[in-house]
Amino acid sequence: MIQNERDMRRELVVQAAQQMMVAARTAPKGKGIDIIEIALVTGDDIHLMSDEMLKIAAETGMKFFLRDADNVLQSNVVMILGTHQKPQGLNCFHCGYRTCESKPAEIPCALNIVDLGIAVGSACAKASDLRVDTRVMFSAGLAAQRLEMLGKDCGCVMAIPVSATSKNPFFDRKPKQPETQENNASK
């Protein structure tokens, strides 16, 4: 039997992303409390995420959302990671408030965000070990958060598109301009 890598690439990238999920899950967590949610986005849901990023670009005027929306479409899978908001009760002052009780509910617990960052770093380290191409995107994470892809309770979501091509599509990226009537007329 001969198995050509080109025929198996998508499956191999998904397997790599699954290993990235394990790395994120086993990353150290503050006080050993696991408040991280992790999922893989594939197929039509990647298009849904990209469409949401285009909406965010239109709402905010942030042009990099346009570029990133195209970029996630170049991935085979997008890993999303988020954190539930659960103050750790350490009164550590890292959020800017003296006590966890005095912190407003809309202000995230700094330790929750640190836990998410460590999980993202662990996932990316595993991706590097496996030699797949990635890029951490808060833009795609925000789209996933707005779409409630990890549920309503995840207050901060990051995304990691994953690909395996001869040239990493997530670097040397060109800025993209919004479509206008002028742009369309020049085509």
Report helix, strand or coil for 138: helix
Confidence (pLDDT) at 173: 65
- The C-alpha atoms of residue 111 and residue 116 are separated, in whole angstroms, by 9
| pLDDT tens profile 96-144 | 999 988 989 888 889 999 999 999 999 999 999 999 999 999 999 999 9
Report CA dihedral (150, 153, 158, 161) to the nearest 10 degrees.
10
Q: What is the pTM of this model?
A: 0.88
- The C-alpha atoms of residue 144 and residue 55 are separated, in whole angstroms, by 12
| pLDDT tens profile 52-102 | 999 999 999 999 999 999 999 999 999 999 999 888 888 888 889 999 889
DSSP label of 137:
B
